[in-house]
Chain A
């Protein structure tokens, strides 16, 4: 479970994240939407302990990330299209390295499970750098699940993927959350993806959460046809809702 309390981050005079509050329960996927530069990645980086908050705190399973960073990172993971795995290592070697870093027991069993469910079998012994972007994305997802995380942070997990691969990833996540005890924060620009996967959505702008609710509720509340239109309305608006 994630609890974000009065979280703020300033870089010199710029407030990248401004007094953000939310929590994500077990088996919940919460969407984080907002225009580029609104503070989504900064928020995720603070949850991961990569960035020190200026104010506020983040509790993971009731423990503060600032005081228990290493302990909590054992049960967390992250995927982003802007971060890659070493290209000169095979897929299997990469998964073994990260399994070791996360002290995973039964490494072979875990890799076997992820390899079959994410369809990595055919290229598990190939160099990661030789794979297509869709295959690399599935490998990165496997890496992010190698430690059976109870907190998973997804930053645009299906960006630049073809519709088939994107759909496969979404279906996988839908099934995965039914089987495991996990809290997921999904930052995405794909509104259909957010509507399909998320129980609740937070709209972020200028470092603040300006509105939140279930996707269908938000569409209804703002009198729009779909989530994309809600996004555009909120992104262009000058006040909070």
Chain B
């Protein structure tokens, strides 16, 4: 019994990512729900349609989460099945790999999203389609940010191998408190507001709430989100190429999955 305890204790003790993982999840949950609680206690009369707004934001956030995870999963599945090397000795350009992952991730994401959208209507009498035409731009913006995060994480997987897997799962939860999904940016402490303004999520979710609460579309928010997305996407693509080049120098493409 003590031996089994030691087996896991030694594993945790020698692995900083594992220790970080243990601390990370409770901290993120507390921070996220702390901000949500603060918002509702301060602005309890802000929404007439609280359930609708929370659910719409939850669906949009889930779309973002699914798109990013789908992108990462495509990579992780190749690592888990020890097929990674086979893919990288196939005659595919990096650009072709990225494009195929982007489209496959979209299909995976939509498979998960459509039932969720359909369920909210009969269960809660809420339709995300109430957002109208801007919904397309909000989805597109979230998808671009999702695959951008996917590119960042996949770059880490290429460069550092399966040990980077935990980051793949936790990347979006790290951004959730700063993304202001369920509350306006003013709820955050000032320092966090500065960081949050650098994320397209703030503008996307702020605009979602704006449309639902005020029945008015502020295209400035949508455009600004696209502008930030373009910058991050470009950085993500460059990072992916850079990681591949580094992996070829360091040899991490050979031992992947072991």
Contact = CB atoms under 8 A, between A and B. Distances in A.
Top 10 A-B pairs ranked by shortest CB distance? A73-B91, A101-B90, A84-B82, A52-B248, A74-B91, A86-B81, A83-B85, A50-B253, A70-B91, A45-B254
Interface string B155-185: 0000000000000000000000000000000
Interface string A27-49: 00000000000000110010011
B86 interface: yes
Chain B interface size band reads 20 to 34
A197 interface: no
Contacts of A78: 85-86, 89
Contacts of A52: 245, 248-249
A50 B90 contact: no
Contact of B251 (A45, A80, A101): A45
Interface of A: 11, 41-42, 45, 48-52, 70-71, 73-74, 76-78, 80, 82-88, 98, 101-103, 143
B138 to A, nearest CB: 34
B81 A84 contact: yes
B86 A42 contact: no
B136 interface: no
Given A42-B251, A45-B251, A45-B254, A50 B85 contact: yes
Given A50-B248, A50-B253, A87 B90 contact: no
B93 interface: yes
B199 to A, nearest CB: 35
Contacts of A102: 90-91
Interface in B206-249: 245, 248-249
B89 A85 contact: no
12 contacts: A11-B251, A42-B251, A50-B89, A78-B86, A78-B89, A82-B82, A83-B84, A84-B83, A85-B81, A86-B78, A98-B90, A102-B91
Contacts of A85: 81, 83, 86
A74 B90 CA distance: 7
Contacts, number: 69
Contacts of B83: 83-86
A71 B92 CA distance: 9
Interface of B: 77-78, 81-93, 245, 248-251, 253-254, 258
Given A50-B85, A50-B251, A70-B93, 17 more contacts: A11-B250, A42-B254, A45-B251, A48-B89, A50-B89, A70-B91, A70-B92, A74-B91, A78-B85, A78-B86, A85-B86, A86-B78, A86-B81, A98-B90, A101-B87, A101-B91, A101-B92
Contacts of B91: 70-71, 73-74, 101-103
Nearest to B87: A101
Q: Chain A interface mostly helix, strand, loop or mixed?
A: loop
Contacts of A76: 89
A50 B254 contact: yes
Contacts of B81: 84-88
Nearest to A85: B83
A5 B94 CA distance: 27
B254 A51 contact: yes
Contacts of B93: 70
Nearest to B83: A86
A11 B89 CA distance: 21
Nearest to B78: A86
Interface centre among B78, B84, B85, B245 (most CB of A within 10 A): B85
Contacts of A80: 85
Nearest to A129: B81
A203 B176 CA distance: 56
A51 B86 contact: no
Contacts of B77: 86
Contacts of A88: 81
Contacts of A143: 86
Contacts of A101: 87, 90-92
